[in-house]
Amino acid sequence: MRNTIKITWYFYRSILLWCMTINMVCVYFLLRGEVNVVGSYVLKIMSYGLVIGFQYYNYNANKTFFYFRNAGYNIDRLYLYALTCDALAYGILLSLLKLVEYWVSIF
Asked whether the predicted pLDDT for residue 9 surpasses 80, the reply is yes
* pLDDT bracket for residue 73 (50, 70, 90): confident
Distance CA 106, CA 65 (A): 50
Tally Cβ neighbours within 10 Å of residue 36. 11
pTM, two decimal places: 0.83
Average pLDDT over residues 57-75: 76
Residue (of 11, 2, 31) closest to 96 by Cα position:
31
45-69: b (≥16 Cβ within 10 Å) or e: eebbeebeeebeeeeeeeeebeebe
Average pLDDT over residues 57-83: 80
Per DSSP, the three-state class of 88 is helix
